[in-house]
Amino acid sequence: MIVLGVESSCDETAAAIVEDGTRVLSDVVFSQISVHSPYGGVVPELASRKHVEAILPVIAKALEDARIPKERLDIIAVTRGPGLIGALLVGLCAAKSMAWALGKPLVGVNHLEAHMHSAFLGNSPLDRPFVCLVVSGGHTALYLVNPGKENRLLGCTRDDAAGEALDKAAKLLNLGYPGGAVIDRLSVDGNPAAFQFPKAYLEKESLDFSFSGIKTALANFVRRHGSPASDGQKGAYRLEDLAASFQEAIVEVLVDKTMHAVESTGVNDVAIVGGVAANGRLRYRMVEETAWRRVTLHMPLLRFCTDNAVMVAAAGYHVWNRFGPCENLLELDAVSRWT
């Protein structure tokens, strides 16, 4: 089965061709980082306009790279939500039009479910139930994934997502956008124990997250000690230490809660997916904590952590196998929130 995946839920316009849910034939991502950087975050209207410009060339490139004529596609899969509604509509309209014109089945994919499917793109087989930490700019949640069955939500953030906290921290420190990757890079030369930031564990046994307190703690720190990046001064602390300490508090909560979920569900496999799963410190700590527990860790390649269309095509293949195509493709709509 040859699937075209299309993704446009936020600030990446992406298309990919994947065979049978795992064999990647092409993978094209047009990133809008340079468009949104001056604003320190995604500007929805600009994102929609850029998607309009990029969507057809990106799809054409994906077909060209895979050397697949569009007539040979078996399924078209597209992200339906959650995400920015204007951005989602661009990918959805392009995918719908292609499906209708070519007479191909169309499948609407949930963006979080697509991230979960990036866990299946590695070399190690994943056909048993596993705990999945979905950690991105918009979401932070733990799921018990039962391949081929319903997933169970174990816990999720009650306020900010982990990626959102990193992005807001980077904006506060004038480090640029997207903040997670910048903080990751700076932290390599920093001391993670230099400063203590609050770690919100919430109620005992809770698998929910909260990252709004740590953001306020950082704002208070900067108010007290000044921001070296904004005034060009070095200040009383090293920015690298601040970044590493802030990142450490987030990573430790993510790791502890994920390990808690593994223990309480009794599974032997765990996956981390989403943009923040590209974080070097998170990956390192996950390797450490799963190794001594003899739990198998599944981490997508870095390029499959941040938004891409390979994961959409992979998820689309599985959704199509389970539920078939959407019956009335012209009525498929985009949804900004999808529980």
Chosen from Zn ion, ligand KG4, none, partner binding at 155 (C-beta under 5 to 8 Å by type): none
Euclidean distance between CA atoms 174 and 172, whole angstroms: 6
Total of chain residues touching Zn ion, rule CB under 5 A: 2
CB neighbour class for 62 (10 Å; exposed up to 12, middle 13-18, buried from 19) = buried
Residue with smaller CB distance to Zn ion, 132 or 222: 132
Chosen from Zn ion, ligand KG4, none, partner binding at 27 (C-beta under 5 to 8 Å by type): none
Residues of this chain that interact with ligand KG4 (CB under 6 A) are 10, 136-138, 163, 166-167, 178-181, 184, 274-276, 278-279, 306-307
Chosen from Zn ion, ligand KG4, none, partner binding at 163 (C-beta under 5 to 8 Å by type): ligand KG4
CB of 92 to Zn ion, least distance (A): 16
Q: Helices marked H in the chain — which ranges?
A: 33-36, 44-66, 85-102, 111-117, 162-172, 179-187, 212-225, 228-231, 239-265, 280-293, 310-323
- Asked if 12 touches Zn ion (CB under 5 A), the answer is no
Q: Is 215 helix (H, G, I), strand (E, B) or coil?
A: helix
Are the C-beta atoms of 263 and 125 separated by less than 8 Å?
A: no
Q: What percent of the chain is helix, strand and coil (3-state, nearest 5)?
A: 50, 20, 35
Part in contact with Zn ion (CB under 5 A); list of ranges 72-80, 204-212, 280-288, 299-307:
299-307
Chosen from Zn ion, ligand KG4, none, partner binding at 90 (C-beta under 5 to 8 Å by type): none
Chosen from ligand KG4, Zn ion, none, partner binding at 316 (C-beta under 5 to 8 Å by type): none
| Residue 309: alpha-carbon gap to chain centroid | 12
CB of 307 to Zn ion, least distance (A): 4
Residue with smaller CB distance to Zn ion, 110 or 136: 136
Chosen from Zn ion, ligand KG4, none, partner binding at 241 (C-beta under 5 to 8 Å by type): none
Strand partners for 76: 4, 106
Euclidean distance between CA atoms 296 and 281, whole angstroms: 18
Are the C-beta atoms of 88 and 336 separated by less than 8 Å?
A: yes
CB of 263 to ligand KG4, least distance (A): 25
Cβ-based neighbour number of residue 38 at 10 Å: 9
Q: Residue holding tokens 């075209």?
A: 4
Kindly tell me which residue out of 118, 136, 247, 258 binds Zn ion, with binding defined by CB under 5 A: 136
CB of 274 to ligand KG4, least distance (A): 4
Return the exposure string of 220-242: e unless at least 16 CB atoms fall within 10 Å of the residue's CB, then b: ebbeeeebbbeeeeebeebbbbb
Residue with smaller CB distance to Zn ion, 248 or 307: 307
Part in contact with Zn ion (CB under 5 A); list of ranges 96-104, 131-139, 287-295, 313-321:
131-139
Are the C-beta atoms of 21 and 318 separated by less than 8 Å?
A: yes
Kindly tell me which residue out of 59, 307, 309, 310 binds Zn ion, with binding defined by CB under 5 A: 307
Residue with smaller CB distance to Zn ion, 208 or 307: 307
Binding interface with Zn ion (CB under 5 A): 136, 307
